[in-house]
């Protein structure tokens, strides 16, 4: 009977067990004990041939929030047994979760459909407590031995310079990343480092610093991000927890000499109490902080109608956007416009907001710039404070118009040349100039003349330079190029020789020598002693036959006159000279 | 011959002095017209002098005064802007412009030239044009003197220094040109001046300028001008709705004379 019951139970449970046996689904959490708001990794794994994504809607109302993910991993398996092929895959989904509730929180069973079958992961219990976990206590024990734990290698903190402030008061929020300064520890932080969501605050200047500090008995390199924030509303405001994931590297004796681990960095939220401002006086500028006011006025003596710049600088610590322009009391003796606003010193220290007004004196005489009051709320005093810029005496003198007439306060059309205004709201009246000074155009140099003279003045050194350059080039060539030098001087030498010809001293020989030397110079041939035959052979082909024959005839006549013994008459010498000049002109022309 | 030259000289002198008297008479008549409230007659007289080539800032001050009294603030502003161009150092005209601007609904600032000219010649703004041209000529002559010296003493240092001086001379010359040829400024002379996307008056205006607003003229194309406002908006407007202040003053005139001065 007992056997029968056992067999019946087995038969009854068989389909159930076979049904659950097909579900290969599991879930794991990165840490069983975490701080409130700390990020944890939930990994779900499922194997099968057809797998759908996990349904995380079951996490709703459980206190768990999905911050990031999933990161999906996939692996395939193909098995061939006795020629039969089976394929399967294993999928892993990694989610980043966060829970702000304290106590034992359960991650419920998460449904996953595998091969058209609904499967459930195992539920997971997570302890969320701000107390030190067992691991941390063991870390503390390890630290007592002088050895840093994994948490000691790198950690983060957030801090504020004050937790009770007034609305609009400046708070310095410091986000610090500590990395152990010894043992070659390093961390990899996300490229876009996530910062706490500061939607309840206005954000001011940001400053980054790097320094060293001792914490937990170790020395750390500290990267600090200092962010100025201003609470926008009264009440209890929270700077949310700062949490992100990074990787910590430290050296060890492994094959690669370095190990690493992914760490969840977490800094708890900070609560700030913001008080509302007390009822403000009507002169309140809107600024909250500590300020001082200064006035810069260019000179003590002003001129009617001539505008001057009047700068009022408000310097201090606080939100520059709330620093309003100071109220200027009415100034009956001048018109004031502006201000133009400039901001100095945005690096997180003191800020100076400069309000520049344009002041145009309208009435001459001794005048006074009024006292300026600037009202702001001073948090240390818990009340409004007034800073004052004292009144200042200035002397306003009447201006002189272009025609030399003094401008006075009263301006009436047609009777005076003043352009001053009687009051700040009346339109200005441009005075009429009755006696012109520059009416006569006088003697004027025409524009064409001016431009021509200017062009000549500009181009004259260029022209001189060109001429002198050509001259120097010629001089250099005369020194270096012998043929060019002889050719250049040939005609001058020829004329010189013929000028020296006289009927008494062998005129035929002189003319003969002048002509042959001319040919020699023009052709860069032997310098002296050329015979008629040599001259003819040198010139053959360079000049025409007829010209060559005439030149030969001239040279022959000179030779005959030279060696004939009889003196030549003046007419004969003149004829030979003319013939020589004619031949020289022809030769210079042909041999150029 | 000498006698003829004497006669011609005497004639020219008499004519010059006579014309000077005529100018004084025209001026006095125009001033009287202003005093009697006949601003159109006064404008005709002053414009006649302007058309005859009188380039006196006082003349343009009087034109501005007449236009202001006639209720044409935009034209008055244009005349004062031209007076400032003629005599930039006179603070009185700047004060008058500021005073006139205060009477307008919208007080636009004077547009800057912008672009490469301001970028290249920004530091010449504090040097007078005369000093620039004298400095440029000195550099020019010095450079050519060095080049002449180099003909006899061909040294590389001389070539280099001459080249640098020539570049500086060109820069000074270009700076002088920049100072003496400021970009034209336009002043709207109508109560409302529509600015269009293109050169089409039937189009929907891009924006509308009120009278007396100062704009930069970036392109003149016949009856249309491309403009840029002081806050960087651009568009096209009809040239007859603006006064253009450059080396001359061009504005739509009601008298019979040509607008070009």
Which tens digits make up the pLDDT trace of B191-223?
889 999 988 888 888 888 988 889 988 888 888
Which of A362, A424, A426, A430 should we substitute to test contact with B (largest number of B Cβ atoms within 10 Å)?
A: A430
Q: B99–A399: do the CB atoms touch at under 8 Å?
A: no
CATH number of B2-113+183-250: 2.30.30.40
Q: Please tell me the predicted confidence (pLDDT) of residue A16.
A: 41
Query: CA-nearest residue of chain A to B35?
Result: A414
Burial of B152 (C-beta count, 10 Å sphere; 0-12/13-18/19+):
exposed
The edge-to-edge listing of strands for the beta sheet with A154-160 is A154-160, A171-180, A218-231, A201-215
Task: Indicate whether A529 pLDDT > 60.
Answer: yes
- For the stretch A433-470, pLDDT in tens is 888 876 655 455 667 888 888 899 889 999 999 999 99
Looking at residue B42, its pLDDT comes to 92
Cβ of B99 within 8 Å of Cβ of A428? The answer is yes
Q: Do A461 and B141 touch (CB under 8 A)?
A: yes
Torsion sign across C-alpha atoms A547, A550, A551, A552? positive
Inspect the interface and report whether the beta carbons of B151 and A401 lie closer than 8 Å.
Answer: no
CB contact under 8 A, A439 and B49: yes
Q: What per-residue confidence (pLDDT) applies to A282?
A: 80
A251 or A475: whose pLDDT is higher?
A475
Residue of B73, B91, B92, B142 best to disrupt the A interface, most CBs of A under 10 A: B92
Q: Which positions in chain B touch A402 (Cβ < 8 Å)?
A: 57-58, 61, 87, 90, 92
A172 contacts A192 by C-beta, under 8 angstroms: no
Residue length, chain B?
261
Query: What is the rounded average pLDDT for all residues in chain B?
Result: 84
Share of chain A above pLDDT 70, in %: 84
Is the pLDDT at B6 greater than 80? The verdict is no
Q: What mean pLDDT comes out for the span A273-290? A: 85
Query: What is the rounded average pLDDT of the residues A362-371?
Result: 82
Question: What pLDDT, on a 0 to 100 scale, did the predictor assign at position A254?
Answer: 65
Which of A157, A200, A153, A205 is CA-nearest to residue A177? A157
Mutate: best of A415, A436, A460, A463, partner B, most B CBs <10 A: A436
Across A419-423, B42-46, B106-110, B224-228, least confident range? A419-423
Q: Output the pLDDT for position B242.
A: 93
CB-CB neighbors (< 8 A) of B56 in chain A: 436-439
Helices B57-69 and B2-35 pack at an angle, to 10 degrees, of 30
CB pairs below 8 Å between A and B: how many?
113
With 50 as the cut, is the pLDDT of residue A412 above it? no
pLDDT of residue A566: 62
- Spatial separation of the C-alpha atoms in residues A515 and A584, rounded to whole Å: 7
Residues of A within 8 A of B103 (CB-CB) are 427-428
For A500-525, the pLDDT digits (tens) are 776 667 788 888 888 998 888 888 88
Instruction: Say yes or no: ipTM exceeds 0.85.
Output: no
Per the CB < 8 Å rule, is A465 touching B23? no
Is A472 within 8 Å of B91 when comparing Cβ atoms? no
Rounded to 5 degrees, what are φ and ψ at A458? -70, -40
Measured CA to CA, the distance from residue A351 to residue A291 in angstroms comes to 9
Of the candidate ranges A329-333, B155-159, B184-188, the one whose mean pLDDT is the lowest = A329-333
**DSSP secondary structure letter of residue A275:** E
Which tens digits make up the pLDDT trace of A256-278?
Answer: 677 778 888 888 888 899 988 88
Task: Tell me if B144 and A464 make a contact (CB, 8 A cut-off).
Answer: yes
User: Of B28, B95, B140, which has the smallest distance from its Cβ to A306's Cβ?
Assistant: B95
Are A430 and B76 within 8 A, CB to CB? yes
Q: Using a CB-CB distance cutoff of 8 angstroms, which residues of chain B are in contact with residue A434?
A: 28, 31
The answer to whether the predicted template modeling score (pTM) of the entire model surpasses 0.80 is: no
Lowest-pLDDT choice from A236-240, A490-494, B85-89: B85-89
**Residue A3 pLDDT:** 55
Q: Which of B87, B140, B151 sits opposite A472 (nearest CB)?
A: B151
Q: Hey, are the CB atoms on A433 and B58 less than 8 Å from each other?
A: yes
**Which residues fall within 8 angstroms of residue A495, CB to CB, at 6 or more apart?**
none
Q: Which of B74, B84, B261 is nearest to B182 (CA)?
A: B84
- According to the model, what pLDDT value does residue B13 have? 62
The confidence score (pLDDT) of residue A456 equals 92
* Interface-testing mutation among B51, B58, B247, with chain A (most A C-beta atoms within 10 A): B58
Of B34, B91, B151, the CB nearest to A432: B34
* Higher-scoring residue by pLDDT: A406, B153: B153
Partner-chain residue, chosen from A360, A399, A465, that has the shortest CB–CB distance to B144: A465
User: What is chain A's mean pLDDT, rounded?
Assistant: 79
B148·A464 Cβ contact <8 A: yes
Phi, psi values for residue A179, rounded to 5°: -130, 130
> What number is the average pLDDT over the span A137-142?
52
Listed range (A332-346, A510-524, B31-45, B190-204) with the worst mean pLDDT: A332-346
pLDDT of residue B259: 45
The CA radius of gyration of chain A, in Å to the nearest whole number, is: 54
Q: What is the pLDDT of residues A16-39, one digit of tens each?
A: 444 444 578 888 887 777 777 777
Distance from CA of A330 to the nearest CA of B (A): 17
Interface touch B64/A430, C-beta < 8 Å: yes
* Residue from B65, B67, B68 whose CB has the most chain A CBs within 10 Å, to mutate: B65
Nearest to A532 by CA among A519, A522, A544: A519
> What does the pLDDT read at residue A143?
55
A544-551 average pLDDT score: 89
Peptide bond into A70 cis (omega under 30): yes
């Amino acid at each position: 009977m007992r056997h029968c019951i056992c067999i019946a139970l087995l038969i009854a449970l068989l389909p159930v067990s076979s049904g659950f046996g097909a579900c290969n689904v599991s879930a794991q959490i990165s840490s069983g004990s975490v701080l409130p708001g700390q990020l944890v990794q939930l990994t779900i794994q499922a194997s099968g041939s057809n797998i759908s994504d996990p349904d995380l809607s079951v996490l709703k109302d459980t206190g768990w929030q999905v911050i990031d993910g999933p990161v999906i991993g996939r692996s395939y398996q193909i098995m061939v047994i006795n020629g039969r092929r089976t394929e399967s895959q294993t999928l892993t989904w990694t989610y980043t979760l966060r829970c702000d509730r304290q106590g034992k929180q359960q991650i419920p069973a998460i449904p996953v459909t595998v091969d058209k079958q609904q499967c459930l992961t195992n539920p997971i219990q997570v302890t969320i407590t701000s107390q030190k976990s067992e691991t941390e206590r063991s870390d503390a024990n390890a630290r007592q031995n002088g050895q840093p734990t994994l948490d000691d290698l790198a950690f983060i903190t957030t801090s504020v310079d004050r937790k009770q402030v007034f609305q609009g008061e400046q708070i310095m929020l410091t986000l610090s990343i500590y990395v152990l300064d010894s043992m070659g520890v390093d961390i990899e932080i996300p490229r876009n480092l996530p910062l706490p969501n500061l939607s309840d605050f206005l954000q001011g200047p940001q400053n980054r610093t790097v320094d060293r500090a001792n914490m937990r008995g170790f020395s750390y390199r500290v990267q600090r991000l200092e962010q100025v924030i201003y609470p926008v509303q009264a009440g209890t405001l929270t700077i949310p927890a700062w949490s992100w994931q990074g990787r910590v590297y430290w050296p060890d004796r492994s094959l690669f000499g370095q190990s690493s681990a992914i760490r969840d960095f977490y800094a708890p939220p900070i609560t700030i109490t913001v008080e509302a401002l007390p009822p403000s006086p009507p002169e309140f500028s809107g600024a909250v902080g500590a300020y001082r006011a200064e006035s810069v006025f260019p000179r003590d003596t002003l001129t009617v109608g001539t505008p001057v710049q009047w700068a009022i600088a408000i310097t201090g610590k606080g939100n520059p956007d709330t620093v309003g322009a100071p109220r200027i009391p009415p100034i009956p003796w001048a018109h004031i416009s502006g201000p133009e606003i400039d901001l100095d010193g945005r690096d997180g220290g003191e800020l100076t907001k400069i309000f520049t007004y344009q002041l145009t004196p309208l009435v001459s005489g001794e005048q006074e710039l009024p006292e300026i009051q600037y009202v702001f709320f001073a948090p240390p005093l818990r009340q409004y404070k007034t800073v004052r810029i004292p009144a200042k005496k200035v002397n306003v003198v009447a201006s002189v118009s272009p025609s030399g007439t003094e401008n006075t306060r009263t301006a009436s059309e047609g009777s005076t040349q003043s352009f001053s205004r009687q009051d700040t709201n009346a339109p200005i009246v441009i005075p009429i100039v009755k006696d012109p000074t520059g009416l006569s155009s006088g003697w004027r140099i025409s524009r064409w003349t001016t431009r021509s003279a200017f062009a000549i003045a500009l181009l004259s050194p260029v022209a001189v330079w060109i001429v002198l350059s050509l001259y120097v080039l010629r001089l250099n060539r005369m020194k270096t190029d012998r043929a060019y030098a002889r050719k250049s001087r040939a005609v001058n030498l020829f004329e010189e020789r013929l000028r020296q010809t006289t009927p008494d001293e062998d005129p035929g020989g002189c003319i003969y020598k002048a002509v042959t030397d001319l040919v020699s110079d023009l052709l860069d041939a032997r310098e002296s002693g050329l015979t008629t035959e040599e001259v003819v052979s040198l010139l053959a082909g360079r000049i025409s036959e007829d010209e060559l024959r005439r030149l030969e005839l001239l040279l022959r006549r000179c030779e005959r006159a030279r060696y004939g013994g009889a003196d030549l008459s003046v007419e004969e010498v003149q004829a030979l000279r003319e013939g020589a000049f004619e031949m020289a002109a022809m030769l210079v022309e042909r041999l150029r | 011959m000498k006698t003829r030259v004497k006669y011609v000289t005497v004639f020219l002198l008499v004519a010059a002095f006579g014309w000077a008297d005529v100018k004084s008479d025209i001026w006095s008549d125009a001033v009287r017209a202003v005093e009697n409230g006949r601003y159109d007659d006064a404008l005709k007289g002053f414009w006649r002098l302007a058309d005859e080539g009188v380039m006196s800032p006082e003349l343009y001050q009087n034109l501005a005064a007449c236009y202001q009294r006639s209720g044409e603030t935009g034209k008055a502003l244009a005349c004062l802007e031209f007076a400032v161009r003629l005599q930039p150092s006179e603070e009185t005209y700047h004060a008058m412009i500021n005073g006139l601007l205060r009477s307008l609904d919208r007080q636009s600032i004077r547009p800057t030239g912008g672009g490469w000219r301001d970028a290249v010649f920004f530091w010449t703004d504090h040097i007078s044009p005369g000093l620039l041209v004298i400095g440029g000529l000195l550099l020019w002559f010095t450079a050519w003197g060095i080049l002449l010296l180099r003909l006899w003493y061909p040294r590389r240092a001389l070539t280099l220094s001459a080249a640098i001086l020539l570049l500086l001379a060109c820069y000074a010359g270009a700076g002088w040109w920049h100072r003496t040829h400021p970009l034209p400024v336009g002043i709207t002379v109508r109560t409302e001046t529509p600015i269009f996307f293109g050169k089409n008056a039937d189009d929907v205006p891009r924006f509308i300028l009120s009278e007396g607003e100062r704009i930069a003229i970036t392109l003149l194309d016949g009856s249309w001008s491309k403009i840029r406002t002081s806050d960087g908006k651009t568009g096209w407007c009809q040239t007859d709705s603006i006064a253009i202040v450059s080396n001359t003053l061009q504005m739509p005139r009601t008298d019979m004379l040509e607008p070009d001065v």
